[in-house]
Amino acid sequence: GENVEQHPSTLSVQEGDSAVIKCTYSDSASNYFPWYKQELGKGPQLIIDIRSNVGEKKDQRIAVTLNKTAKHFSLHITETQPEDSAVYFCAPGRGSTLGRLYFGRGTQLTVWP
């Protein structure tokens, strides 16, 4: 299976600052790299994903970068806002009709106003 590690486990930033969360994985066959956000009392929700043939993807204030050689990918959030406070999970896997995702342990992000 896949061995997934996320760092840091907790992250506190001031509103307006940037936040970066890193995810390392072990399965070189993984080709799909999503990030999920979980707000209190809710299920995780996809916020951005990237495939192995792309090095970076941006969507407004969030971006994901991939280093497939080193087997890690990162979530970048710029101009953080209090509503960004949540738990963030990386979940690498093989994008296929029968594959599964391997969720990391999560990063608790707190944005202070």
Q: Which DSSP letter does residue 69 get? A: T
Q: Judged by CB, which is closer to another protein: 41, or 113?
A: 41
Burial 53-74 (b: 16+ CB within 10 A, else e): eeeeeeeeebbbbbebeebbbb
Find tokens 């930033």 and name the residue. Answer: 13
Candidate list 19, 24, 25, 44; residue touching another protein; CB under 8 A: 44
Pairing of strands 107-112, 10-14: parallel
What's at 32, amino acid-wise? Answer: Y
Interface segment toward another protein; rule CB under 8 A; list 17-25, 56-64, 78-86, 95-103: 95-103
How far apart are alpha carbons 97 and 107 in whole angstroms?
A: 28
106 binds another protein (CB under 8 A): yes
Candidate list 5, 7, 49, 52; residue touching another protein; CB under 8 A: 49
CB 62 within 8 A of CB 48: yes
98 binds another protein (CB under 8 A): yes
CB of 19 vs another protein, minimal distance in Å: 20
Interface segment toward another protein; rule CB under 8 A; list 14-22, 57-65, 78-86, 87-95: 87-95
Site for another protein, rule CB under 8 A: 32, 34, 41-46, 49, 89, 93, 95, 97-106
